[in-house]
Structure 1
Amino acid sequence: MILADYEEESGYREARPHFSKRQRLPPVVMLCKDMMPDIRTMGESAKAFPEDIKFLSEAIVHEFGNEEYFNNALLKTFRAVVLEQPHKQPGIALLTMVLNSAKPEIGKSVLNYFFDQVQALLNSSHDSEYETKSHDTGPWDKIKLILRFISILSPMVIPDDLIELYRRLLQFAIDINNSTEKRSPLSEAIYTNTLLNIPYLFYFNSDNRASLKTLVEDVLIFVENDYKIKDSDIELLKAYNKNSPYEPVHWVTAVLPNVKDALANEMQQLSSVFLNYDSLLTQQTTIHSFNEPLNLPTLEQILPFSGLDKGFGSVDSLWKTPRYSFEVYLPNSVGPFATVIPTTTYTGMLFQDILLDIIESMEFNRLEVARQLVTIDLFFAPGIFTEPGLPVAQLLEQFEENHSGTTFKIEDLAVGAILQLTFKLPTVSQSFAYFYSLLVEICKNSPKAIAPVFGRAFRFFYNNLDKLDFELKARFLDWFSIQMGNFNFSWKWNEWETDSVQWCRTTYNPRVIFIKNLIRKELRLTSNSADVEESVTDEFQKYMDPSFIKREDLIHYYSSLFKNFQLDEDDLRNNELYFRSPSFPFYESVINILDFFHKQPDTRSIAELENILKDVADVHGSIIEDFNRFTVTLLIQAIVFCGSRSLSHANKYIDDSREELKAILAQIEVSPEVKDQWICEAVIRYWNKNSQNGYLILDSLRYNGLVSSGAVLNFSLTEQYGVNMSLVDSTSIESIFRILNELAIATDKNVEPFEYVFNRLVGAANDVVSQLNTSDAIVVPDLDQEVQATDEELPLLDLAWKYESIMGFLKSILRKYSDEFSVLTEKTITNVSQGVTHEPTKQQLNRWILEAAEL
């Protein structure tokens, strides 16, 4: 952690409470408390930077070597900045070289300290006991950052020693790569990270530059000849299921050409990116070497860890699967220019790398991350970005006047970097809460500048919803709803009115599904539905009903419980127990059941409950269609009603009544599967207006052994009144993922539920293909193009969207639970070959199944 690491290890922090109020801390501690924060913020003010270098260097020269406490504090502060705020490395390097000129032993100490850090990280890289903290980026990412810092120190380091570091690491990457026929995540990480640092050797225009350039050219020729990039076209990892709006850039493929371009033409690209600190650099009369050669792990030691799948850090884990660019702000989206530096350039790749490191390494301080991301331009050459907060309309005007001016926006770059991590497949590196709150924080800091940036991202994802990965649609929905809730639900809904008018009669149109789920999420996020109602236009008022199933279907559900009895539809009210309505024939008995559940568990007996149910059966059994089903429905809805004030209340009533409910349910002579289905229906029908609450109650019933996980999965995957809710309702989809996530981390691993979900979805795909009656590939026109459909064509188009949703869901679960499906590879392929007759579907599924086994 960057805040006072040196205090933690010194003992002063722990000793502080023993000082009396009048007793002062030792002078060296007071000095560090004053000086180290200045080092951490150095460069944030360009005007004060030269003075900061002068003042800090003089103070450090005076103090260094006098007390171990100061030496340690200085080195630990340098390390924290280098690892957590890599954009500030050049300032720390400049300060180090000024110190080296004045007092060479300081420069030598800093160089050896960081060299030893690299060695320690290499040693830990193959240690099975290595433990990461939540903000630990991983040993290889840290090695990358320290190598970058050492490279900037090139004016005070012997060139051959520097190049030997690069050669050793790149040869290591080549050896790991050659040790396997498959792609090696660690090899690609070392290869890319090391090459990305090479231009930093030339940050300063020093006496070493000419000799360094010759040595670097030899290294680039060597690595270009010896490193073989391996195929990594994995469809499961693609953010778009079809017709991607851009061509993703493969990092390992792009890095070498980017670096070579950066070094070409007398390094003009670098001079336009790096700040020119040459005037502040003092003459380096003492040039250092490393004390000893770098000791790399053997192949035998490192290969078991080369998959980067053993929890070694958030950034290192990004390399577990092939790294591709993820773009949101495409060129020409707002005008004939780009607002984000393309990853096909060294500058674009470098900024992406630095932004991701800041986001990942400083997750413990969200406020500071939000500030650093949008001020990173201060640490690079002026002119790379436009004026902060410049509106797109004004940028377009400037571009039309001067095509040579920059159009890159720091806000687009920062938000895009966070979204890249938010939408990372197959898994995110941090919790979604961190990324979502970071986006909220950035917008709060500068709402006028950031809100339009969010708006363009919203439009981009919305326009590509029909192509976007199934799981990423859910992430987009979550992010959008959170932003809406934090900013008074304000959105220009009229932008989407055309889609609503055209497709409102469909069930599976991805844009209509998104709009419905978004409004329902917004309604759940506020206790005042008027806030949402006032924000949406007249066209969208019809989606303000958050019902899981339509009211007529709800009426049908309750009516099916009875015979020779007409229920009063007015008694079906939101979040209310229908059976306690005064017009209901035996509501007094229902009140008695509620009173029973309200009693303290030790003051009631199960006989009381049994007697109430017996009286109902004796007196009113003639109007009940199936008394077993009715008993389950009544008891479950009574418990849900008692706990309807909050989830904690619901959990309490379920916990208190668990044994009694189990005893009653055991007396009902139907199959467990049927009982479970009745329970799921009873809960979700009660919470018809808020199905999220219903599914969370089902979770509580699962944890208490009153309903099985398989039953909830079955309920979600079963078509209800002609609609597959697992494809259209976000709460149903979230429940499926929540259950599978729990099962995936369970110690007693059971792969049957994963196989069950897969087979159910395959069955649904087969049904759709049968209805479409085609042997050809099912292709749906892109919604970003003008799509028209007659009344006769609309049902077929809706079926095609349904098919795409099913296939998207299958792709997501194969990727997300690849460990579970890798055990089932042979069985799943056999089932698909035997159970799927539609050849395009069979080929697609078989490819994904094999890819899942490789993840």
Structure 2
Amino acid sequence: MSYDRPHRGGGNRRRYRDDYDDRRREPYESPADKLKTSIIKFGDLDVEQELPTIEKHIRDSAPYNIPNLSEAFRIAVTEQPYKIPHYVTLLRRLHDIPPEETSSEGPSLGKQILEDFWKGFQAYLDKLAWRETRLCIHFFAHLTVAKLIAADSLFGLLQSFTAVLEEFGVSHGRAKKAAVCAGEGLMIGGPVLKPASAEHVQEIVNAIQAYNDTLTNPKTLVAPMVNLYSEETPPNELLDILLRALKTLDESDFTETASSFLQPYTSIEDPDPATFVPYNLPSVLVPPEVIELDGLATDSGEEAQVKKEEWPEYFIPLFDNDVTPDPQTPAGYAVYAGLTDIIDIYEVNRKECARLLLEFPKWTVPGTFKPKPGATNAPEPVPEKDWQLESTVIENLLGAYLVLPEASQKSIYYIGLITELCKLSPSTVGPAVGKSIRKLYSMLGEGLDVEVARRFAEWFAIHMSNFGFQWVWKEWIPELSLAVQHPKRAFMRRAIEFEIRLSYHDRILKTLPQEMQAPEGHTIGEQAPGPDFEYDDPAKPHHDAAQAVLNLFRGRAKAEDVIAHLETLKGTLDTSDDGEIVNVDGLIRSIAMQSLLHIGSRSFSHLLNAIERYLPLLRHIASGGVSSASGSGTPEAKADILTASAAFWKLNRHMVAIVFDKLMQYQIVDPTDVVAWTFVHRGEIRQFSEATGPLSLSAFEWDLLKGALDKANGRVMIARRKVVALRKEDDDNRARVKAKAEGNTVMEVDGEENVPEKTDEALAADSPALTTALKAFTSLTREQKAALSRTLDGFVSCLAPGASDANPNPHSRVVISEDGWSDRAGWEKDQWDAWETWGWYRQFCRSYAPYLRNYSTTLWTVSFAKFDGSTDPAAELLKKTWQVATGQE
């Protein structure tokens, strides 16, 4: 039989069949898709060699699929902006009609692609996709220099963006983006635009300058280097450097554009003006701003329409101008803008981003950067250029990361990107990172903003964790002689605290020199982070009572049984050992809370399980004492709970923030309670002699405040989204009821009655979910307002306790005076405490400006009315900062 015959080749046939099946499963790529891919990948290997090949490939694809070709160009321009000059060269060649097609009629292939490209640009503009719009303007500006677009039409396009700057009430975010679109388009297209109309060039520059002149106050609030005593605008803000570069180009009649922006298309002979008609860009209007709803309420109780606040952007120079380019020069600005675009666009793939950043010289004017060691055919160095690539990349990355009040991307992206750069080229990127760390460290104590310093410490710790925690700490031993709250010493403590979170105490301790390990160095804790159960020692008071409660938790007793035991325990704790009356309710709350946290201290999941199991108990003790379960809680009881939690985790302050967050999440305490506790009780768990007075806040307290405010604001946003969804559902129900009633009226027959239309009250009664959601939204809005008000009042009390006081806060006055700042070398702990508190007040105002603006009337009355008529400089600066943040100045 056949199955007895020897098998020859059967296995191979099966293998070939399997391979064929696998190929069949691959997605089909049409010739149009292949052409699009080849256009997008143009230049990845060698631009000069690929240019004639890709041109021939496109011309051989006739009949042409113009939408497909223009889409490939749009994708390339908006996702690979460093290639824009080369795509202009390609389009310029496609504009020329080859000899074999001279008899063909109609526009050239290049013009057809450009016309369809414009449709995509208009779509970007209609959606206010600002980055894509700006990069398309770069493309048009290069095409204008290549003589493919009429200069007058590019002028019209740029002027449509400068018109945005004159809109009434234009937001800074919208105006800034429009100004950059117009300014960068002029920088690139200037060599053609200036000869065409010097007057129009000056109009564009003047429009940007006029708007920039209105930004003095906002700039002072987000500058990375702080001068509390001065209103001078710090340098290196985005629009400032744009204007300086523009004016430098204008003064030279844009002759420096060719040495700043790559222009490979200039080697192609200009089209014959007798036969070629340049493309005229159609007129456009920038669409109005889209208002985003954020679930806020105004002082009148109405919902407000707001969007996230956008502020001026500052660049932090870390190196000398002979090492990295000065962004205020045309060439420096071109490098700065090019690197920033790559960093923003490739946020989805940091490894690819790192590769492109290290290949950036390939897309710049030859001689811009120093060649790699051992590179062959390297271009000759260009005078006043020849910069170090790695230092330039790190400087731009850290500049984007340290933007105030927050960066455009998540912090972990910038940190991870620097790590990828170090892995790709450790011998060149590593030294640049080390120099950047030392430069930022030298700026501490010289006015570096407290939020910038906090992010610096976070990046430093994470970066060290990726490379074995290797740092030359002995370089900073001399700073141990500074005041304990000096920013450099505070940075050391916070960075080491972050490092311990990422590793463990003993390992980090071994990386430090002996001077920093010693307790008198106030740099690292003597004990490893962990719980500190106050009643664990048998020699301490109330040990037996706490053990009894702890045993109930270990035995997983019911919450009701624990509550009953606490009631019984109350009678045995009326007096202390010496007969002095104690706060029995507060003591019982402390025992119960610390015992519960002790059960949950083994892991995060243990903590959550313990809280969830004993939610009734927590709500009971938060209600004003174990003997009263009425009401939503009392401030004293909630403060006791927070104090007990903080005392239990005082050796691990990260866990304090986590426990506070979970207590807010389960609504044991409110955000307002956390804010109030932070300002009143914060000194109870200070470490390393930190800010023992009542007039200061450190970064730890700011983390608690930020967590509470973000919780309050987030709840309002969620509640508002729910209200919007239910309202839409309710409107749909109303529409269906109305349509049904109208349909019955039309189709009415004898003997039938019309269906009466339901009233609004009846429809509302049919939607109890909406009624509940509206009540919740109102309640959460009230809570949000209370949290913001309590925070503002706390800062005011810290920095200027009262206008009637003869000396409200002497340290606060010192740090905001020019003489006091000049004498900062002699500042002690209290002065640096006050300076840091001023910094966190500034961060509060600029971070939560949209929320503060909606309650500005009420908050001003509550917190600042007492300063009416006061000339105290601290009160004046408080009010000034508030008014700038809320848009009143």
TM-score range, shorter chain: 0.7 to 0.9
2:531 is the counterpart of 1:575: yes
- Is contact 1:775–1:838 with CA below 8 Å preserved after alignment? no
Q: Which residue of 2 aligns with 1:425?
A: 404
Q: Which residue of 1 aligns with 2:766?
A: none
Q: Which residue of 2 aligns with 1:808?
A: 839
CA positional deviation for 1:526: 0.7
Q: 369, 373, 386: which one pairs with 2:370?
A: 386
CA positional deviation for 1:832: 3.2
Equivalent positions of 1:326-475 (< 5 A) are 326-331=315-320, 337-388=321-372, 404=383, 406-466=385-445, 467-475=447-455
Report the TM-score, using the length of structure 2 for normalisation: 0.75
- Is contact 1:36–1:74 with CA below 8 Å preserved after alignment? yes
2:246 is the counterpart of 1:259: yes
Q: Output the CA distance in 2 between the equivalents of 1:363 and 1:424.
A: 16
Number of equivalenced pairs: 750
Equivalent positions of 1:132-531 (< 5 A) are 139-154=129-144, 159-160=149-150, 162-164=151-153, 166-180=154-168, 185-201=173-189, 214-224=195-205, 228-229=210-211, 230-234=213-217, 235-242=220-227, 247-255=234-242, 258-259=245-246, 261-262=248-249, 267-275=254-262, 277-278=264-265, 281=268, 284=271, 287=276, 289-290=278-279, 293-297=282-286, 302=288, 304-305=289-290, 321=310, 323-331=312-320, 337-388=321-372, 404=383, 406-466=385-445, 467-503=447-483, 506=484, 508-527=485-504, 529-531=505-507
CA positional deviation for 1:771: 6.1
CA positional deviation for 1:141: 2.7
Equivalent positions of 1:595-744 (< 5 A) are 595-598=551-554, 604-613=557-566, 616-617=569-570, 623=576, 625-666=582-623, 667-668=625-626, 672-718=634-680, 719-720=682-683, 723=692, 727=696, 729-744=698-713
CA positional deviation for 1:736: 1.0
User: In structure 1, what residue type is equivalent to 2:596?
Assistant: I
Q: Deviations over 1:166-204 (max 9, x none)?
A: 3323433444333438786534532332231234347xx
Classify the secondary structure of the residue corresponding to 1:363: helix
Q: Which residue of 2 aligns with 1:799?
A: 830
CA positional deviation for 1:548: 11
Q: Which residue of 2 aligns with 1:398?
A: none
Q: Deviations over 1:592-627 (max 9, x none)?
A: 544543556xxx534432454356456676557443
- Is contact 1:547–1:688 with CA below 8 Å preserved after alignment? no
- Report the more deviating stretch, 21-30 or 489-498: 21-30
Q: Which residue of 2 aligns with 1:114?
A: 117
Q: Deviations over 1:10-61 (max 9, x none)?
A: xxxxxxxxx953437688537845x65554444344xx32221122221221
Classify the secondary structure of the residue corresponding to 2:841: helix
Change (3 A) 1:22 1:329: closer
- Is contact 2:405–2:847 with CA below 8 Å preserved after alignment? yes
Q: Output the CA distance in 2 between the equivalents of 1:502 and 1:307.
A: 48
- Is contact 2:161–2:182 with CA below 8 Å preserved after alignment? no
Q: Output the CA distance in 1 between the equivalents of 2:263 and 2:811.
A: 67
Q: Which residue of 2 aligns with 1:131?
A: none
User: In structure 2, what residue type is equivalent to 1:142?
Assistant: E
- Is contact 2:492–2:523 with CA below 8 Å preserved after alignment? no
Change (3 A) 1:709 1:198: closer
CA positional deviation for 1:450: 1.9
Q: Which residue of 2 aligns with 1:89?
A: 84
CA positional deviation for 1:386: 2.1
Q: Output the CA distance in 2 between the equivalents of 1:296 and 1:413.
A: 37
User: In structure 1, what residue type is equivalent to 2:196?
Assistant: L
CA positional deviation for 1:706: 1.8
- Is contact 2:532–2:651 with CA below 8 Å preserved after alignment? no
CA positional deviation for 1:79: 1.7
Change (3 A) 1:578 1:222: closer
- Is contact 2:249–2:257 with CA below 8 Å preserved after alignment? yes
Q: Which residue of 2 aligns with 1:541?
A: 517
User: In structure 2, what residue type is equivalent to 1:485?
Assistant: S
- Report the more deviating stretch, 376-385 or 211-220: 211-220
Q: Output the CA distance in 1 between the equivalents of 2:451 and 2:615.
A: 35
Q: Deviations over 1:757-806 (max 9, x none)?
A: 222222222369546389777548899x99664xxxx6xx3322222222
- Report the more deviating stretch, 613-622 or 651-660: 613-622
Change (3 A) 1:779 1:259: closer
Change (3 A) 1:805 1:619: closer
- Report the more deviating stretch, 211-220 or 532-541: 211-220
Change (3 A) 1:626 1:550: farther
CA positional deviation for 1:146: 0.8
Change (3 A) 1:774 1:171: closer
CA positional deviation for 1:322: 5.7
User: In structure 2, what residue type is equivalent to 1:647?
Assistant: F
Q: Output the CA distance in 1 between the equivalents of 2:293 and 2:244.
A: 25
- Is contact 2:369–2:389 with CA below 8 Å preserved after alignment? yes
Structure having the higher Rg = 2
User: In structure 2, what residue type is equivalent to 1:249?
Assistant: N
- Is contact 1:389–1:449 with CA below 8 Å preserved after alignment? no
- Is contact 1:740–1:753 with CA below 8 Å preserved after alignment? yes
Q: Output the CA distance in 1 between the equivalents of 2:308 and 2:319.
A: 24
Q: Which residue of 2 aligns with 1:134?
A: none
- Is contact 1:548–1:689 with CA below 8 Å preserved after alignment? no
Change (3 A) 1:195 1:537: same
Gaps of 5+ in 2: 1-19, 102-106, 296-305, 375-380, 685-690, 717-779
Q: Which residue of 2 aligns with 1:334?
A: none
Q: Output the CA distance in 2 between the equivalents of 1:615 and 1:28.
A: 78
User: In structure 2, what residue type is equivalent to 1:608?
Assistant: D
Classify the secondary structure of the residue corresponding to 2:22: coil
- Is contact 2:324–2:391 with CA below 8 Å preserved after alignment? yes
- Is contact 2:450–2:840 with CA below 8 Å preserved after alignment? yes
Q: Which residue of 2 aligns with 1:395?
A: none
Name the % identity.
19
Q: Output the CA distance in 2 between the equivalents of 1:773 and 1:434.
A: 38
Q: Output the CA distance in 2 between the equivalents of 1:28 and 1:776.
A: 71
User: In structure 1, what residue type is equivalent to 2:222?
Assistant: L
User: In structure 1, what residue type is equivalent to 2:864?
Assistant: V
